Amino acid sequence: MSEETIFSKIIRREIPAEILFQDDLVTAFRDIDPKAPTHILIIPNHLIPTTNDVKSSDEKALGRMVTVAAKLAQEAGIAEDGYRIIMNCNKHGGQEVYHIHMHLVGGHFLGPMLSQDR
C-alpha cells in the first residue's frame, strides 16, 4: 500500500478541505460527497491503510477519532437525535481510500444499517 493518499494531502493542507478539527492525532473535515445533511470524515494523521493494519500503538488515535466524532456531533446539533459512525474495510466493506477513516453521518433518520438488497 502507498504511503501517500489524498487524505495525507488534506492533513498537510496541500489540497483544500473544510477542516473542522485537527490536532496532533486526528483530522476531521466535511465529506465532498455527503450522504446525509451532516457527513464528516475523521482520520488519523498517520497512515493506517485498513482496520486490518491497526496496531496497539494506534489505540490513542482511534480513541481520539471517537471522542472527536462525539464532539463534532454535539457541535452539529445531531447528538441528541442520533448519528452513525462507520468505518469500512477493504473492497467488500466499501473502502475507497486506503487510509482508515470514520464517517460521522446524521441530520435525518438514517434507516436500517444495511440494505436488504443483495
Please report whether residue 112 resides in a domain: no
Please report whether residue 114 resides in a domain: no
Catalytic residues: 101
How far is it, in rounded angstroms, from Cα 118 to Cα 110? 19
Q: Which CATH number covers residue 92? A: 3.30.428.10
Q: Give the pLDDT confidence score for residue 117 in this predicted structure.
A: 59
> Do residues 9 and 97 lie in contact, with contact meaning Cβ atoms separated by under 8 Å?
no
| Number of domains within the chain | 1
Cell of 89: 474495510
How far is it, in rounded angstroms, from Cα 51 to Cα 99? 9
Please report whether residue 1 resides in a domain: no
Measured CA distances, 107 to 3, 4, 8, 17, 73 (Å): 34, 32, 28, 21, 9
Question: Which residues, 6 or more positions from 18, have their beta carbon under 8 angstroms from its beta carbon?
Answer: 29, 30
Predicted TM-score (pTM) of the model is 0.93
Please report whether residue 111 resides in a domain: no
Condensed to tens digits (0 to 9), the pLDDT of residues 61-100 reads 999 999 999 999 999 999 999 999 999 999 999 999 999 9
Please report whether residue 74 resides in a domain: yes
Please report whether residue 28 resides in a domain: yes
Please report whether residue 113 resides in a domain: no
How far is it, in rounded angstroms, from Cα 73 to Cα 77? 6
Asked whether the predicted pLDDT for residue 26 surpasses 70, the reply is yes
Condensed to tens digits (0 to 9), the pLDDT of residues 41-69 reads 999 999 999 999 999 999 999 999 999 99
* C-alpha closest to that of 38 among 94, 88, 81, 8: 81
Please report whether residue 102 resides in a domain: yes
> Do residues 43 and 99 lie in contact, with contact meaning Cβ atoms separated by under 8 Å?
yes
Task: Show the domain range for 36.
Answer: 6-106
